[in-house]
Amino acid sequence: MKPRHAFGLAVRIVGLIVVLISVLYFVSTVIVCIDPTYRPNLSSAWHYFIDAVITLLIGLYFLRGAPHVIRFAYRDEDLNDKPDA
């Protein structure tokens, strides 16, 4: 396995973890909407919802491979992979 592929796998694993965190935020949103007095010092539901949406988008981007991040990290290999015209 090339280092580029291992890095891509690591990026996808991080993406999966971030998606699972966003699910936790969505659950927190539902809990706060159902019972606003669950914990008095808890943030409002829309804070959790916005965090859930942002983390879900980032997690899905990483889960799909984050091509821009991988291309940035392994720019030299991209130049070597192109055939001479």
Cα separation, 6 vs 75, in Å, equals 15
- Structure-token match 């942002």, residue found: 54
CA distance 40 to 31: 13
Domain-by-domain residue ranges, the chain?
3-79
Sign for the CA dihedral angle at 53, 16, 64, 66 comes to positive
Output the tens digit of pLDDT for each of the chain's 85 residues.
Answer: 888 888 889 999 999 999 999 999 999 888 888 877 766 666 677 788 899 999 999 999 999 988 888 888 887 765 555 554 4
Q: The whole model's pTM is what?
A: 0.75
